[in-house]
Amino acid sequence: MKKKIGKQSIAFLKQPVVTSTANIVGPMEGEGYLTEHFDRIMKDNLDGNQSWEQCESSMMEWAISQAVKKSNKQMADIDYVLAGDLLNQLMGTHFALRGLERPFLGLYGACSTLVESLLLGAVLIDGEFGDTVAVAASSHHDASERQYRFPTELGVQRPPIAQWTVTGAGAAVLAASGNGPRITAATVGKINDLGIKDPNAMGAAMAPAAVDTLWQHIQDTKRQPAYYDMIFTGDLGNVGKTLVLELFKEKGLDIKSNYEDCGCMIYREEQDAHAGASGCASSAVVFSGYIYRQLLEQKWRRVLLIGTGSLHSTTSYQQKESIPCIAHAVALEM
């Protein structure tokens, strides 16, 4: 039986199970709306490390190790690790994986990386290439700001449309069998670029990619948006979320009642995060905490998680290029 359905989607036959998740965040995230949904909240953005980048690596290592422990596995049971982050050459990920000694495949999808890893992890298990896969993604506010924009010590003012890169890491263990939500379908995104050049306007830049992937998911799977109890995008923030709702209204679909963006769920209004959260960890910590628990407790039975990635670099910005974006989706069902 064909597993590819429609133009860009996959229907998994064996439907791999997410048997556990784990996450860790910084203090600011810990003071936000989801405080009870984090496994560990660091006291500061270094957590005893010598640099923010080292802190990001240790967060990812901790999240993967914790997820493996929660699924009652040993690290040696993990057939593959799939992971990535925002830092140049995936510095967060590579130094995290150095100590784990597992077969590793590095991914880069900017903030869509967690969903990309869930998707390819499900492919490896569904295709019987292994029994157990660990996936992870991380970002670190200060490490990311100094790489993409300005060192945070400079205190440069941020425009109101800017988002706040989440300090955190989220991980999950996928298995051929077990208890937990199953990955039943996925949609692989295409690159969308509508010409936005301002790297502060990532929400607006990514919204069309999210809409394109969700629209294609509906066409390919014949599942209407109402099929899902909730549809989440990764890190569009307030600006991007509003655009998604408007773009879907133009297509004659109102998804207001069952759509939310992970980037709007982390920081409280008074935390001054402007347009919301961004970064690989935005969808990673919300999925591995809040969303996963709602599924386990069967408050929701069907969730579509759409990872959204802004694929620009400082060089592409300096060369006055517009921002290519991508979105991948995975359907999780209890």
193 binds a second copy (CB under 8 A): yes
Q: Counting contacts by CB under 8 A, is residue 3 touching a second copy?
A: yes
Q: Is residue 237 within 8 Å of residue 263, measured between CB atoms?
A: yes
For the chain, the maximum distance between any two Cα atoms, rounded to a whole number of angstroms, is 57
Angle at 169 between CA 292 and CA 121, to 5 degrees: 60
Residue whose CB is less far from a second copy, 220 or 333: 220
Contact predicate 97/263, CB 8 Å: no
CB of 194 to a second copy, least distance (A): 11
> What is the phi-psi region of residue 76: left when phi exceeds 0, alpha when psi lies from -120 to 50, beta otherwise?
alpha
Q: Is 72 in the site for a second copy (CB under 8 A)?
A: no
Nearer CB in complex with a second copy: 97/204: 97
Residue count, binding to a second copy (CB under 8 A): 63
State the sign of the Cα–Cα–Cα–Cα dihedral 270, 271, 273, 279.
negative
Query: Quick check: 176 binds a second copy (CB under 8 A)?
Result: no
Helix (H, G, I), strand (E, B) or coil at 260: strand
Helix (H) or strand (E) holding 18: strand 17-25
The single residue among 65, 69, 75, 95 that binds a second copy, judged by CB under 8 A, is 95
Q: Which stretch binds a second copy (CB under 8 A): 91-99, 153-161, 176-184, 202-210?
A: 91-99
Q: Which residues of 5-29 are buried (b: 16+ CB within 10 A; e: fewer)?
A: eeebbbbbeebbbbbbbbbbbbebb
* Shortest CB 204 distance to a second copy, Å: 17
Region 115-134 residues binding a second copy, contact defined as CB under 8 A: 116, 119-120, 123-124, 126-131
51 lines the binding site for a second copy (CB under 8 A): yes
Interacting residues toward a second copy by CB under 8 A = 1-4, 7-8, 10, 50-51, 53-54, 79-80, 84, 86-91, 94-95, 97-98, 100-110, 116, 119-120, 123-124, 126-131, 147, 188-191, 193, 311-316, 319, 321, 324, 326, 328
